[in-house]
Chain A
């Protein structure tokens, strides 16, 4: 119980809660479009591809300034996605294989850089490896402010271009025939997904960040048939998972935050997949059993 009273008084706790809520809201909303476009795994490639960017940004500046590292992550994440799309477009490599190549190549390079940095005996480097699985406890007010600004920009852009993002996700060829520049909308969506991932890296880490795009969207889809409601629900679920995961991780012997957040998200998603009305599996089983019983009664009556 004490953790909830501390939430409003303790400086670290407040930063952690705000930061993880922000990450949940932004990745939840953008995840909806990524999942509906069947591009959920692009987030995975992007997040893994961010690692070398973080390391290079640190090597170049010698400091762990949050915004600089975020920028490094964004740039190399972007290059990863660009490489992925080029591979699919210009070779005969299929998307899943291309994803595997890009993801592991960038991540491998990132781990190499991380090892190189840790062997330099440079006192300042401590904590860079926290970007692998996230560590919410180290969030500062500065971090949270940077995340809030980026997140607000992303959410406003989603609201402004909601119609364009919707038609791109549903029927991009029709959108193109109407004269919308679908490459531009796609670019916008990818950039916003980069922003969502960069916001979450500090808290969830590169390895598991993609799950924060996919999980809230999958859970939200179960409860509604309307895109705008789905976005709102995904934001709520994302925030819920973010905050509860982060709080669990710092209350119990400083567990890494990423896995805790993802486990919370999994609980929400699993509950939704089973118990949501109409689309939930349990609901379907009940319907099926009811139909069977009806049919059996009908057959019996027929005799």
Chain B
């Protein structure tokens, strides 16, 4: 019988060799992934295993390849080497199991459309070519907007939404995809406190339903409160694993280099708290 610890600490080699570890329990298995733009490696030999039901943060400095990692998993950019498996199979066979939240700033919010219309785009994948969204898609989209507290804004032109509301529209669109694995690129960047709360509530609800969420994340302060799995990245993989055992000052040193003193302070604070908690238990 497998316990949670075996799942949580499984490596690439374990998954391919140990027949007791089932591919369905691993939403993301990345093997030796290398991505290059022209002659520059953006990601190099990255190995990552993310077990099911985790809220996982991808953390690293600017230019560490965090967004690139997500895009490579989604097959949006070609990889020079390595493989990515989504629940045991290549992404192209598993699209319906994956929801995607791109960076909010990646689109033109002055596009002539409404919040509801954007959210309905989450159903386009299931609809396939030519078929138009109908009553069912409209109701589903309304339901997902409501889940993010945005029901009143359904008919609002998207340029009239605040940054946080735009982010919630993007999250609602991913919910419409009804996926098992959600990949989110910086969902917390530039949002108001209300939106931040709504996103956290959503992430926890998704986890409670056994879904897996992978977020590119910037804020070292909030990360320990939100996530339970961590991938530290700086072109190469620095460390990956359960949050508390991976979020160490040593690992952050390696990720950000020695210069990032403030990062280190955060960690020491976190480690102190962690120690206090463990001793109290």
Q: Mark A145-176, 1 if CB is under 8 A from B, else 0.
A: 00000000000000011111011011101111
Query: Which residue of chain A has the shortest Cβ distance to B156 in the bound complex?
Result: A225
* A38, chain B: closest CB distance, angstroms: 8
Residues of A within 8 A of B132 (CB): 162-163
* Interface of chain A, main secondary structure: helix
Task: Find out whether the CB atom of B112 lies under 8 angstroms from the CB atom of A226.
Answer: yes
The answer for the CA separation of A77 and B186 in the assembled complex, in Å, is 41
Task: Find out whether the CB atom of A177 lies under 8 angstroms from the CB atom of B74.
Answer: yes
Q: Does A221 contact B (CB under 8 A)?
A: yes
Q: Mark B183-200, 1 if CB is under 8 A from A, else 0.
A: 000000000000000000
The answer for the CA separation of A245 and B118 in the assembled complex, in Å, is 38
Task: Find out whether the CB atom of B121 lies under 8 angstroms from the CB atom of A225.
Answer: no
Q: Does B124 contact A (CB under 8 A)?
A: yes
Task: Give chain A's interface residue range (CB within 8 Å of chain B).
Answer: 20 to 34
Q: Which one of A163, A173, A227 contacts B76 once the chains associate, using CB atoms below 8 Å? A: A173
Instruction: List 6 extra interface pairs beyond A178-B124, A180-B129, CB under 8 A.
Output: A163-B127, A163-B131, A174-B100, A176-B75, A178-B95, A230-B112
Q: Does A244 contact B (CB under 8 A)?
A: no
The answer for the CA separation of A178 and B133 in the assembled complex, in Å, is 15
The answer for the CA separation of A180 and B125 in the assembled complex, in Å, is 8
Most central of B71, B92, B107, B127 by chain A CB within 10 Å:
B107
Task: Find out whether the CB atom of B100 lies under 8 angstroms from the CB atom of A170.
Answer: no
Task: Find out whether the CB atom of B118 lies under 8 angstroms from the CB atom of A170.
Answer: yes
Residues of B within 8 A of A162 (CB): 132
Residues of B within 8 A of A166 (CB): 113
Residues of A within 8 A of B100 (CB): 174, 177
Q: Does A179 contact B (CB under 8 A)?
A: yes
Q: Does A118 contact B (CB under 8 A)?
A: no
Q: Among residues 195 to 244 in chain B, which have CB atoms less than 8 Å away from a CB atom of chain A?
A: none
Task: Find out whether the CB atom of A177 lies under 8 angstroms from the CB atom of B98.
Answer: yes
Task: Find out whether the CB atom of A225 lies under 8 angstroms from the CB atom of B113.
Answer: yes
Given A160-B130, A161-B130, A164-B129, A179–B95 Cβ distance below 8 Å? Answer: yes
Q: Does A12 contact B (CB under 8 A)?
A: no
Q: Mark B98-133, 1 if CB is under 8 A from A, else 0.
A: 101010001110011110001001001101011111
* B90, chain A: closest CB distance, angstroms: 13
Q: Does B251 contact A (CB under 8 A)?
A: no
Task: Find out whether the CB atom of A225 lies under 8 angstroms from the CB atom of B74.
Answer: no
The answer for the CA separation of A226 and B118 in the assembled complex, in Å, is 12
* B162, chain A: closest CB distance, angstroms: 17
Q: Which one of B76, B95, B107, B159 contacts A170 once the chains associate, using CB atoms below 8 Å? A: B107
How many chain B residues touch A (CB < 8 A): the figure is 29
Query: Which residue of chain B has the shortest Cβ distance to A224 in the bound complex?
Result: B112
* B76, chain A: closest CB distance, angstroms: 6
The answer for the CA separation of A17 and B224 in the assembled complex, in Å, is 68
Task: Find out whether the CB atom of A163 lies under 8 angstroms from the CB atom of B98.
Answer: no
Q: Does B11 contact A (CB under 8 A)?
A: no
Interface residues of A (CB under 8 A from B): 36, 38, 160-164, 166-167, 169-171, 173-180, 221, 224-227, 229-230
Task: Find out whether the CB atom of B111 lies under 8 angstroms from the CB atom of A36.
Answer: yes
The answer for the CA separation of A167 and B123 in the assembled complex, in Å, is 11
The answer for the CA separation of A189 and B124 in the assembled complex, in Å, is 19
Q: Which one of B71, B121, B133 contacts A171 once the chains associate, using CB atoms below 8 Å? A: B121
Residues of B within 8 A of A230 (CB): 112
The answer for the CA separation of A221 and B157 in the assembled complex, in Å, is 13
Query: Which residue of chain B has the shortest Cβ distance to A227 in the bound complex?
Result: B112
Q: Among residues 26 to 40 in chain B, which have CB atoms less than 8 Å away from a CB atom of chain A?
A: none
Residues of A within 8 A of B133 (CB): 163
Q: Among residues 122 to 175 in chain B, which have CB atoms less than 8 Å away from a CB atom of chain A?
A: 124-125, 127, 129-133, 157, 159, 173
Q: Which one of A163, A177, A229 contacts B95 once the chains associate, using CB atoms below 8 Å? A: A177
* A124, chain B: closest CB distance, angstroms: 46
The answer for the CA separation of A38 and B108 in the assembled complex, in Å, is 10
Residues of A within 8 A of B112 (CB): 36, 221, 224-227, 229-230
Residues of A within 8 A of B159 (CB): 225
Query: Which residue of chain B has the shortest Cβ distance to A164 in the bound complex?
Result: B129
Residues of A within 8 A of B74 (CB): 176-177
Task: Find out whether the CB atom of B102 lies under 8 angstroms from the CB atom of A167.
Answer: no
The answer for the CA separation of A160 and B132 in the assembled complex, in Å, is 9
Task: Find out whether the CB atom of B124 lies under 8 angstroms from the CB atom of A227.
Answer: no
Task: Find out whether the CB atom of A174 lies under 8 angstroms from the CB atom of B102.
Answer: yes
Task: Find out whether the CB atom of A175 lies under 8 angstroms from the CB atom of B113.
Answer: no
Residues of A within 8 A of B173 (CB): 174
